[in-house]
């Protein structure tokens, strides 16, 4: 497994975009503050990438993550920065975390969720979900990712049901993809 240069791409003091339930920008707040207590609703994105064998790329979050460290999650997830549209943010983050670029990303849906992590903090996101294909060598950034693998979709339900090993948004998003976006999902398999 080739590792990238371990440069910092995420900061507690970076401003996240606060939004209302309709995704209208209502301000900004530091990433740290957005994730305190019950959290403040902010814009985010998640990406699901599949290889030519129809396997899903999943990542294990770095041990240094404040929320859900060492949990398995979808291919990539993060937040857009001020002045970035979502596709620019997704493209930037795929490069920063995985060392790749993806040409066939497709927006799938948007949803809102809020979930606490122990007594440490929470997520409260309006999250846009994307799917795409990956056919490049993965070059992870160790500051963001502890490990990665491609998982067969027949084995994925076992992993998701193990409890306390997968991020809650990964579980929620996968359920939506397979139940409400099955045709689009199948086009990547």
- Structure-token match 């809650």, residue found: 168
- Structure-token match 């990303």, residue found: 105
Q: Are 9 and 94 in contact (CB under 8 A)?
A: no
DSSP 123-177: EEEEEEEEEEE--S---B-TTTEEEEEEE-TTTHHHHHHSSSSB-HHHHHHHHHH
| Alpha carbon distance 173, 189 (integer Å) | 17
Which letter does DSSP use for residue 28 in this model? Answer: E
Residues annotated as part of the active site: 77, 125
């Amino acid at each position: 497994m080739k590792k990238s240069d371990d440069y910092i791409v995420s900061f507690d003091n970076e401003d996240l975009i606060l939004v209302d339930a309709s995704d209208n920008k209502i301000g900004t707040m530091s990433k740290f503050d957005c994730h305190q207590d019950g959290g403040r609703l902010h814009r985010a994105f998640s990406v699901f990438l599949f290889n030519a064998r129809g396997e899903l790329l999943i990542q294990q979050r770095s041990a240094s993550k404040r929320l859900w460290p060492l949990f398995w999650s979808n291919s990539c997830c993060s937040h857009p920065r001020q002045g970035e549209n979502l596709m620019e943010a997704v493209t930037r983050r795929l490069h920063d975390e995985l060392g790749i670029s993806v040409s066939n990303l497709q927006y799938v849906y948007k949803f809102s969720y809020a979930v606490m992590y122990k007594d440490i903090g929470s997520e409260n996101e309006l999250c846009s979900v994307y799917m795409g294909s990956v056919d490049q060598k993965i070059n992870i950034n160790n500051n963001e990712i502890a490990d990665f693998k491609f998982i067969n979709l027949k084995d994925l339900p076992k992993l998701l049901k193990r409890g306390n090993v997968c991020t809650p948004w990964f579980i929620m998003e996968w359920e939506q993809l397979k139940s409400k976006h099955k045709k689009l999902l199948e086009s990547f398999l």
